[in-house]
Structures are given as structure tokens and as C-alpha cells.
Amino acid sequence: MPDPRLRPVNGGTAHSLVSLRGIAKHFPGVIANADVDLDIRAGEIHALLGENGAGKSTLMNILTGIYQADAGEIAIDGKPVRFGSPLDAIAAGIGMVHQHFKLVQAFTVAENIHLGWGETPRLASARQLEARTAAIAEKFNLAVRPDARIHALSAGEQQRVEILRVLARDARVLILDEPTAVLTPSEARELFKALDAFRKSGNAVIFISHKLHEVLEISDRVTVLRGGRKVATHETKDCDHRMLAGLMVGREIVLGNYRDRSAEPGNDARPTVLELRNVCADDQRGLPALRNIDLAIRAGEILGIAGVAGNGQRELSQVITGIRPLVSGEILVGGKAVSHQDAAAFAAFGIGHIPEDRLRSGLAPSLSIDDNVVIREYKTDAVSRGPFFDPRAANRLARTIAADAEVAIPDFGMPVRNLSGGNQQRLVARREIRIARKVLVAAYPSRGLDIGAINTMLRYFVELRNQGVAVVLISEDLEELLSLSDRIAVLYEGRIMSVFDAESADMETIGLLMGGQTAAAPATSGARS
């Protein structure tokens, strides 16, 4: 039971629930956090904003006891605390919902709620646990089905279970890491309603995001991190898109000049390299994921694909790289219709693919770096003689690619999963750029990279485009899309809501389209819905 003395006075003024002072955390060769001060007040939703690698996750891992700070102090209700483990943080009323849910898929909702919890009755039937769960759900006004198994739930429902699990343990500070990334717009609205209720009862929410419109909509205050340091904390009502974006990246407009190009033919004059005609495709579960997609990808352009994750991006990238079969419609590669989807043939044509989840499909984690890096070129003379595979030649090619990717590798025979996520991503990107003579499909290419590496990668994309390669850039980061793309297509529930020239696009319109609203869009080149 929570100590009643610790309960904040509802409606009280600037009561500081959590305060971090001078937090620092170093990893070998990296400063993850330095000198970070942060105050979380009772009754507020505090947004934590920053690019990938800005130090948001490290800071939250320190606050939840997963990491220990190298310097600095944490105080709860003004009293200094030291968290040796996540259990200490939970006991102090701090709970976190991670971006990747940590639920047992085969267990029911009730079992997940009660797992690893001191208040779980020692002997309890499934029905008792479900009754307890129903009572907790009612208390916090979060509807769940206690007897449902996790794998049968949607992402939104799973998230609700995660939140409930944290709240059931009497959390007063709820940390949410990119909570809307997996949600549909309506689920996101539900979440916001629940967060609002939680805030009104005198608790606090830390909301990690890089979606500016959400931050502006839901939060009371915003803290921006960059390069591991705190840049600023502002009242949300004093902020706007442009200002927050500028604070995040430290420049007025990121990479703004990338779209500049010297005298070149306009969009319509460039030849089409890849074309989708009325394409429909299913997702992994056999449900429709792409609906009647018409899309022409032209040489020498960067085509941005905007949309909330899970609206068909994965399937789109698989369809245009030959991995996923079509249900109907056709694909023209270099003007010729392909009879069946064959990823090797697409790659041989010159289509590279940086997949959204490198460990799931881009790499074979348990195999050596050599084996992983040559997967696109093992059939070429560089690695093979006829049917024979030459491991030494593979090693030579791997060394070349690693050098180009600026990844230092002590042992090319070690499993690729031993590399850091950022280095894995660089190797995959370099490997794919090498074969992308016609098209490069890049899904969330900046994930896991620091700002410097992101800039290097984006510059590669621009170089490729200038050489006449078509780049399809799938991203959630509107800043990135707007600064880089020549045209932007918006995906919503498997449909292309609109395609427009990036110059005439603005974030608000794209945001509306991403949410499925077909409000007046400046459709300049063939908007389709």
C-alpha cells in the first residue's frame, strides 16, 4: 500500500515530484548524458523531446533504475534516493512502458498484470486473478479483457495492459517511450484521454516522443535533449513546431539545402524506374495491408513515404523489393511487368533495400560479419567462382564494405549480433547502397544512429539521387522527409492518401493526411485516394 503521506496534494502548485540534478552517464567512447537537470511536477504531462541518440532513453533508464548514473542525484518529493535496480524505482512509484512491450505473449492479461508483483496472492485461481484485474481496470478506467491472451490483442490493447501493470503498482510517475508509434489514430486518442485522467489525479507523465504535433497537443511542458545534454525546458503553450524542431536538431532548418539541385530536368521529365499499378497485398497474417496502390518511382528523385508506422510501410517496402507477393495489380520494373516476385531478381536489377528491422530481416544475427555483409554480392565474381564460394574473397569484400561504412571491426568471424545496433545499421546501409544502381528503398534508416551518422547517411542518399538513382525514403520523421524528399506520398491504412511535391507541402497538412483526414491538400502531382 502506498504511504498516504507521499500522495501529492491535488491541485497543488509547482510541486516537484521528481527532480534530477546534474545527471551524467558515460559509455565507452560515448557521452550518453551530461549534466542533465529535470523537474517533473505533480499533475503535469512532461514531454521529453530529442532525436535518436539524444540521450532520452539513457536518462529514463537511469530514472527507472536500469542504469546507475555516473554523477548526479535523483530526488523524489525532495528526498534523495538511490535506485540500485528497477525494483527500487517501482517501489518509489516510477513505472515505465517501453516502446517494445515486455509482456508474456502466451499469458492472459490477468497473469501479465500479476507477474512479478509482491501483492499477487500466493495461491490464486485464474478466476480470482481475473477478478482482481477487472477491479484494477475499473479503478483506473482502462478497459481490458482480463482473460484474453496477449497475442490475441491489438497493439493498443497490449499497451493498455502495460500501462495498467505500471499503475497497479501505485505508480505516480508514468514514463511512456514513443507510445503512439504503434497506435492507430483512434487508439492514440484513447491513450491521450487516459493520460489526461492520470494527470488530473495529481500524478505525472513523462512522454517521450519525436512527433511534434503530439507533444504540442498533450504536454504541459517540454524538455528538449540534444547530444546527451538538456537544451531547454519550456511551457508547451509558448512553443511551436518550428521552434521545437530547431531546438531538437540545433539548426533552424535541418539539412535544408539538400533539396537544392543545379539545372536539372523537372520531376516529370525523369524516367520512371519502378511503377506500381493498382497493387494490393496482404500482411503476414493474411489481412489486406496495401489497397490499390498506384505509384511511380522516378530516376533521380527522393520519394518520401510518410505515415504512422503500421499503415502498410513494411508491406510497401517488401512489395517494391520483390519479397512479398501481390494479391492483385502489377509492378513494372524498368518498364517491364514482373511475372512473380523474386527478391534476388529485384536486387540484380539494382534495387537495394535497407529494411526497417535489420535484425529481423536484414541480417542473420548468429552468422559471421563476412557472411552477412556479402549477402548481396555472393553470386558475383567478387566472392564466387562458378558454384564455389570463396570465404577469403568474402572476407576481402567484407573488409572493403566495413571500411566504407567506417565501422571498425576487430574480428570478421564473430557473429554480427555482437556489433552495436548503429554499426549493424551502417553495414547494412553500405551493403545496400553498393547494389542500388536503380533504386534504394530505405525504411527508417536513421533508427539507432547518432546525429553524425544520420547526416552521413542522408548525404549518401542525396549523392545517390544526384547520380540518377531513385531513393524511396520511408520515415516517421516529417522533418527528415520534408528536408530530403522531392515528392512525398502519405500512407494511411494501406492507401496512398496523396502524393505531392515536397516544396509545396507543409507539416500540418501531412499530419492530417497521416491521421486519415483528406482535408484540402495541395495536391500538385496526382493525388489519389
Partner 1 sequence: MSWRLQRFPSPKPSVALAVRAVAILLALVVGGLVVAVSGLNPFALGNQVMKSTFGSSFGLEDLGLLATPLILTGLAVMITRRIGLWNIGAEGQFYAGALAAAAIGLFVEGPAWLMLPAMFLAGVAGGMAWITIPTLARAFVGVNELITTLLLNFVATLLVYYFATGPWRDRGAGTLGSTPRIRYEMPELWGMVHWGFAIAVVLTVLAAAVLSFTRWGYEVRISGANPENALYAGIPVRRRIIAVMLLSGAVAGVAGMLEVAGTVHRLQGGISNNFGYLGIIVAVLARTSCLGVFAAAALMAFILNAGIILQTQGLTTSAIVALTGLVLLFTAIGDEFAHYRLVRADRATA
Residue 159 vs 372, nearer CB to partner 1 = 372
Residue 64 vs 509, nearer CB to partner 1 = 64
**Member of 17, 36, 69, 137 binding partner 1 (CB under 8 A):** 69
Q: Give me the residue label for grid cell 536484414.
A: 362
CB of 395 to partner 1, least distance (A): 13
CB of 138 to partner 1, least distance (A): 39
Q: Does residue 355 bind partner 1 (CB under 8 A)?
A: yes
d(CA 313, CA 444): 10
CB of 398 to partner 1, least distance (A): 13
277: left (phi over 0), alpha (psi -120 to 50) or beta: beta
Q: Does residue 198 bind partner 1 (CB under 8 A)?
A: no
309: left (phi over 0), alpha (psi -120 to 50) or beta: beta
Residue 310 vs 415, nearer CB to partner 1 = 415
**Member of 330, 342, 463, 506 binding partner 1 (CB under 8 A):** 342
d(CA 402, CA 413): 13
Residue 232 vs 323, nearer CB to partner 1 = 323
**Member of 390, 450, 493, 501 binding partner 1 (CB under 8 A):** 390
User: Taking a C-beta distance cutoff of 8 angstroms, is the pair 97, 162 a contact?
Assistant: yes
CB of 390 to partner 1, least distance (A): 7
Torsion of the alpha carbons at 407, 409, 412 and 416, rounded to the nearest 10? -70
d(CA 6, CA 8): 6
d(CA 353, CA 442): 6
**Member of 134, 343, 382, 523 binding partner 1 (CB under 8 A):** 343
Interface region with partner 1, contact rule CB under 8 A, candidates 116-124, 241-249, 343-351, 451-459: 343-351
Site mask for partner 1 (CB under 8 A), range 9-48, x = bound: ----------------------------------------
**Member of 95, 228, 322, 445 binding partner 1 (CB under 8 A):** 322
Interface region with partner 1, contact rule CB under 8 A, candidates 61-69, 221-229, 259-267, 325-333: 61-69
If you ran DSSP here, which 8-state letter would residue 123 be given?
Answer: S
Taking CB under 8 A as the criterion, which residues in 362-381 touch partner 1?
A: 362-367, 371, 375-376, 378-379
Interface region with partner 1, contact rule CB under 8 A, candidates 42-50, 122-130, 218-226, 347-355: 347-355
Q: Does residue 282 bind partner 1 (CB under 8 A)?
A: no
Q: For strands 204-209 and 173-177, give the pairing.
A: parallel
CB of 365 to partner 1, least distance (A): 7
Give the torsion sign (CA, 289, 291, 528, 320): positive
Helical ranges in 302-420 per DSSP H: 313-319, 343-349, 369-373, 391-404
Taking CB under 8 A as the criterion, which residues in 412-451 touch partner 1?
A: 414-415, 417-418
Q: Which of helix, strand or coil describes residue 25?
A: strand
Q: Does residue 87 bind partner 1 (CB under 8 A)?
A: no
CB of 348 to partner 1, least distance (A): 8
Helical ranges in 374-493 per DSSP H: 391-404, 421-435, 451-466, 478-484
Residue 146 vs 362, nearer CB to partner 1 = 362
Helical ranges in 250-301 per DSSP H: none
User: Taking a C-beta distance cutoff of 8 angstroms, is the pair 337, 391 a contact?
Assistant: no
Cβ-count burial of 233 within 10 angstroms (0-12 exposed, 13-18 middle, 19+ buried)?
Answer: middle
d(CA 170, CA 192): 20
Interface region with partner 1, contact rule CB under 8 A, candidates 117-125, 221-229, 345-353, 465-473: 345-353
Size of the site for partner 1 (CB under 8 A): 40
Site mask for partner 1 (CB under 8 A), range 128-157, x = bound: ------------------------------
Residue 81 vs 243, nearer CB to partner 1 = 81
Contacts of residue 379, Cβ cutoff 8 Å, sequence gap at least 6 = none
CB of 26 to partner 1, least distance (A): 11
Q: Does residue 345 bind partner 1 (CB under 8 A)?
A: yes
CB of 386 to partner 1, least distance (A): 9
- DSSP string over 294-326: EEEEETT-EEEEE--TTSSHHHHHHHTTT-S--
CB of 496 to partner 1, least distance (A): 24
Residue 67 CB neighbour total at 10 angstroms: 18
Q: Does residue 388 bind partner 1 (CB under 8 A)?
A: yes
Residue 327 CB neighbour total at 10 angstroms: 14
Q: Which amino acid is at 16?
A: S
For the sheet with 336-337, list strands across it: 288-298, 272-282, 328-333, 336-337
- Interface positions with partner 1 (CB under 8 A): 67-70, 82, 84, 321-323, 342-347, 353, 355, 360-367, 371, 375-376, 378-379, 384, 387-391, 414-415, 417-418
